[in-house]
Chains A and B, each alone.
Chain A
Amino acid sequence: MRYSIVIILFYIFNFAQSSAQSVKEIDSDALKALTYTMNDTTYVVNFWATWCSPCVKEIGYFEELHRQRESEKVKVILVSLDFPKQIDRRVIPFLKEKEITADVLLMTDLDYNSWIDRIDPSWSGAIPATLIYNKETRVFLEQELTRDELFNHVTQIKQ
């Protein structure tokens, strides 16, 4: 009896662990690699932060895209530009509240000038900004997106 309770507790703990949103820290080299991965997948890389109100407004559309189209080789990656010191206090509680299950990465390289051009030379650095690409096409959008705009861009690029 006692043994089975331990097993149940173990499973509950494990489940809680796997469903909790985790945020992986990345540097500029890892980010560059992530924005130039050439395979059959279409990547949707959204640059956002918890303090950016238009980003917060559109983040639900990215989560919806992730849930709907992951099986169709659409990979959504949310790159947070919150300051690294705010990961536990702001970023993770925000992701839990919004029930985000898409991959979330946190950019640790704060020397923005050293890497913004490497993602896209047209990017001024304002967020929200979204890169949608596959091995054939690439679109960089320095703007807030509506749900239709996001889904249409992905559909167009996958054609």
Chain B
Amino acid sequence: MSYSIMLHKSSNDMKKTILTSVLALMAFMLVNAGLKPGDNAVEFSLKNVDGTSVSLSDYADQKGMILVFTCNPCPFSKAYEQRIISLHLSYADQGFPVVAINPNDVEISPDDTMDKMKARAEEQDYPFPYLKDESQEVYKAYGASKTPHIFLLQNKGGKFKVAYIGAIDDNAMDAAEVTNKYVEKAIAALISGSNPDPATTKAIGCTIKTKS
């Protein structure tokens, strides 16, 4: 939530102004919860659709990771599903594999149970882990707010750092109409030794389903 006052007519508005300022400050703190580019990535250890447990530290020998918060039913996740698979197929060999995390509460979103995730991963032949953030602590630690939401990580001397946060590209509806492949450009920047520009982008997506 963000509140802002644009004009104050009289001192009668004072109370409202104070309340609004407090709310704006709270909103500021909320918005800034989670990670931003340059921050250390947060370690996780989550259950995969194959029954194993997958951790960030399992990837210590990689150059980085394309961490994707996504889910089964969201139309934007579906629209990007093949593009996420392609990212893994193109970049896993270059040291940037995809790891997908499903953050949704299964009571609110029954299509996101582990069984439904397994079915989806098998049906679409996911070449990457598809993990369940059952406690919903991982998405909160990263500050993911929607699906799909990308956190591109870079391994810097054994420590994963956040290099890019945001969308995969600039056209969710039609992969053929894309003019800016944000994630691919960000990986190219990292491989060439520079920082991604832009380091963050925004896109429309489905809210992460959680019990408030």
Which of A54, A125, A136, A159 counts the most B-chain CB atoms under 10 A from its CB?
Answer: A125
Report Cα–Cα, A135/B45, bound state, in Å: 49
Consensus secondary structure, chain A interface: loop
Taking a contact as CB atoms under 8 Å apart, the answer to whether B203 and A112 are in contact is yes
Taking a contact as CB atoms under 8 Å apart, the answer to whether B6 and A139 are in contact is no
* Residues in chain A near residue B16, CB distance under 8 A: 137, 159
> Is the C-beta of B188 less than 8 angstroms from some C-beta in chain A?
no
Instruction: Find the B residue at minimum CB distance from A139.
Output: B3
Number of A-B contacts (CB under 8 A): 99
Instruction: Find the B residue at minimum CB distance from A114.
Output: B170
B163: min CB distance to chain A, Å? 17
Taking a contact as CB atoms under 8 Å apart, the answer to whether A122 and B145 are in contact is no
Q: A113-B203, A140-B2 are known contacts. Are A124 and B173 too (CB-CB below 8 A)? A: no
Taking a contact as CB atoms under 8 Å apart, the answer to whether A139 and B206 are in contact is no
Report Cα–Cα, A139/B203, bound state, in Å: 20
Q: Which A110-129 residues have a C-beta within 8 angstroms of B?
A: 110-114, 116-117, 120-128
Taking a contact as CB atoms under 8 Å apart, the answer to whether B2 and A122 are in contact is yes
Q: A112-B204, A113-B202, A141-B1 are known contacts. Are A122 and B173 too (CB-CB below 8 A)? A: no
A117: min CB distance to chain B, Å? 7
> Is the C-beta of A26 less than 8 angstroms from some C-beta in chain B?
no
Interface residues on B, range: 35 or more
Taking a contact as CB atoms under 8 Å apart, the answer to whether A143 and B1 are in contact is yes
> Is the C-beta of A138 less than 8 angstroms from some C-beta in chain B?
yes
Residue of A51, A111, A140 touching B1 (CB-CB under 8 A) = A140
Instruction: Find the A residue at minimum CB distance from B8.
Output: A136
> Is the C-beta of A52 less than 8 angstroms from some C-beta in chain B?
yes
Q: A123-B202, A125-B146, A136-B7 are known contacts. Are A113 and B170 too (CB-CB below 8 A)? A: yes
Instruction: Give B1-32 as 1s and 0s: 1 = Cβ < 8 Å from A's Cβ atoms.
Output: 11111111100000010001000000100010
> Is the C-beta of B103 less than 8 angstroms from some C-beta in chain A?
no
Q: Which A65-94 residues have a C-beta within 8 angstroms of B?
A: 81, 83-85
* Residues in chain A near residue B170, CB distance under 8 A: 110-114
Residue of A112, A117, A159 touching B167 (CB-CB under 8 A) = A112
Consensus secondary structure, chain B interface: loop
* Residues in chain B near residue A51, CB distance under 8 A: 74-75, 206
Report Cα–Cα, A44/B48, bound state, in Å: 42
Report Cα–Cα, A100/B2, bound state, in Å: 28
A12: min CB distance to chain B, Å? 37
Report Cα–Cα, A15/B74, bound state, in Å: 38
Residue of B1, B5, B166, B203 touching A136 (CB-CB under 8 A) = B5
Taking a contact as CB atoms under 8 Å apart, the answer to whether B172 and A126 are in contact is no
Taking a contact as CB atoms under 8 Å apart, the answer to whether B31 and A83 are in contact is no
Instruction: Find the B residue at minimum CB distance from A122.
Output: B2
Instruction: Give B100-121 as 1s and 0s: 1 = Cβ < 8 Å from A's Cβ atoms.
Output: 0000000000000000000000
A/B interface sample: 23 pairs, CB < 8 A: A51-B75, A81-B204, A83-B173, A84-B173, A110-B170, A110-B171, A112-B202, A113-B198, A116-B203, A120-B2, A122-B1, A124-B202, A125-B205, A126-B204, A126-B207, A136-B5, A136-B6, A136-B9, A137-B6, A139-B1, A140-B3, A142-B1, A159-B16
16 more A-B residue pairs beyond the given contacts A124-B31, A127-B204, A140-B1, with a C-beta to C-beta distance below 8 A = A51-B74, A51-B206, A111-B179, A112-B170, A113-B166, A116-B203, A116-B204, A122-B31, A123-B202, A124-B146, A124-B202, A125-B146, A126-B206, A126-B207, A136-B9, A139-B4
